[in-house]
Structure 1
Amino acid sequence: MSSRLIALGLCLGLAACGGKAPPRNLDNACSIASQRSDIYRAMKKSERRWGVPVHVQMATIHQESRFRDNARTPYQWGLGVIPLGRQSSAYGYAQALDATWEEYRRGPGRNGAKRTNIRDATDFIGWYMDASWRTLGIPKSDAKRQYLAYHEGRGGYARGSYNAKPWLLSVASSVESRAQAYRQQLRACGK
């Protein structure tokens, strides 16, 4: 009897460790919306509140976390074997940094907001991109420039820090291409 309780405890423990599984076909916005309707509903709600189109939010989350709720940056290693900690505090669907997440929670977010909650993550992205539009004049539908400001911070974007990072310019172009593909797919499936 006790071995059954141990087995049950292990199963429950393992189940508690896993978050929601990401959608299977990340290249198709309609597939994402049908597999994980919670994601699509959260993005629509954020779009209504902040004006950031669903396809821009979707492309940003794809780039940041591949729709994994508990995504983290990799560890840095000293001498190849000594763990030095993570590259940054970025965490969750939106890969929000600790300080920026706290700013959001003190502002339009709520104290209980979690980076692993898709509703909170999409609201965060909408809030951040709305502020980038207000302070930097970046159109909310401009996935490339919004992503650059999201990645570099609004101050870094204003200084043009991304210009010294050809790899980031390439990533931002990929985000723009994916956003446009998602936009066409969502139109085709009536979303």
Structure 2
Amino acid sequence: MKKIKKTLLFLSVATILTGCATAPPKNSSNLCDIFREHNDWYDAAADMRDKWDVPIHVPMAMMYQESSFKHDAQPPMQYWFGFIPVGRASTAYGYAQVKDETWEDYGRETGSYFAARSNFDDALDFMGWYINKSSRINKVSKSDAYAQYLNYHEGWGGYKRGSYYKKRWLMETSRKVQQRATLYQRQLQSCEDEFKSGWFFGLFG
């Protein structure tokens, strides 16, 4: 009986946690709509910008490419002979699709030991940290979404070696990230004042 109760309790907690998970934005092609639907995301983005001096539209465009804003995104399962599961392609997980070892490096350097990859605020802060380091290590502008995404995908060493030159698909994907970042930037310029004023002042705006 005790085992049954524990099982029911576990299932109840799991159901509650799943129900509380933030759903991806309904319109992920418009940054204004994203922040209107998830108004706390703008606050997290503004904090990231102020902390790392990284423009909001760059990591948001990168996050869209990485996970489509799904909190539990991860690489697909791989199979032998089409039906025997052998694990996933990598340990990448969460909004920012961060691998275990890179997430651990972030935790050690920033003291964010209790951060979670499935938490939007933490994932965006991680991206700000990574973009900041890419700028410092490889002299890449923080507003250059194309080069920043190449750093993000290939790592600092891979970018320095030019490993992406052999991956035409990756350079094309990076161009798409740049295009989305430019779109997000233009959209945010048209609506950011409403988020800066906050919900209380927005009632009278």
**Which moves more between the two structures, 169-178 or 8-17?**
8-17
Partners of 2:23 and 2:12 in 1: how far apart? 17
With the length of structure 1 as denominator, give the TM-score of the two structures. Answer: 0.92
Match of 1:158 in 2: 160
Match of 1:85 in 2: 87
Q: Match for 1:70: what amino acid? A: D
Is 1:43 equivalent to 2:45 in the alignment?
yes
Moved over 2 A (4+): 7-18
Match of 2:18 in 1: 17
Partners of 1:16 and 1:189 in 2: how far apart? 32
Q: Match for 2:172: what amino acid? A: S
User: Against the structure 1 CA distance between its residues 13 and 129, is the aligned structure 2 distance closer, same or farther, given a 3 Å change threshold?
Assistant: closer
Query: Aligned with 1:107: secondary structure?
Result: helix
Partners of 1:176 and 1:40 in 2: how far apart? 20
Q: Which residue, 55, 69, 76 being the options, matches 1:74?
A: 76
Partners of 2:50 and 2:72 in 1: how far apart? 26
- Which runs of 5 or more structure 1 residues have no equivalent in the other structure? 1-6
Partners of 2:17 and 2:189 in 1: how far apart? 37
Contact 1:130–1:140 under 8 Å retained in 2: yes
What's the CA shift string for 1:97-131, capped at 9, x where partnerless? Answer: 10000000011141111111111111100111100
Query: Aligned with 2:110: secondary structure?
Result: coil
Q: Match for 1:55: what amino acid? A: H
Output aligned runs, 1:75-154, within 5 Å.
Answer: 75-154=77-156
Is 1:176 equivalent to 2:178 in the alignment?
yes
Aligned-residue CA RMSD (Å): 1.8
Following superposition, the deviation at residue 17 of structure 1 comes to: 2.6
Partners of 2:41 and 2:69 in 1: how far apart? 9
Partners of 2:119 and 2:24 in 1: how far apart? 13
Amino-acid identity (%):
46
User: Against the structure 1 CA distance between its residues 67 and 161, is the aligned structure 2 distance closer, same or farther, given a 3 Å change threshold?
Assistant: same
- Which runs of 5 or more structure 2 residues have no equivalent in the other structure? 1-7, 194-205
Following superposition, the deviation at residue 86 of structure 1 comes to: 0.6
Query: Aligned with 2:79: secondary structure?
Result: strand
User: Against the structure 1 CA distance between its residues 26 and 164, is the aligned structure 2 distance closer, same or farther, given a 3 Å change threshold?
Assistant: same
Partners of 1:111 and 1:121 in 2: how far apart? 13
With the length of structure 2 as denominator, give the TM-score of the two structures. Answer: 0.86
Query: Aligned with 2:192: secondary structure?
Result: coil
Number of aligned residues: 186
Q: Match for 1:138: what amino acid? A: V
Q: Match for 1:188: what amino acid? A: S
Following superposition, the deviation at residue 188 of structure 1 comes to: 1.3
Following superposition, the deviation at residue 44 of structure 1 comes to: 1.0
Partners of 2:192 and 2:102 in 1: how far apart? 34
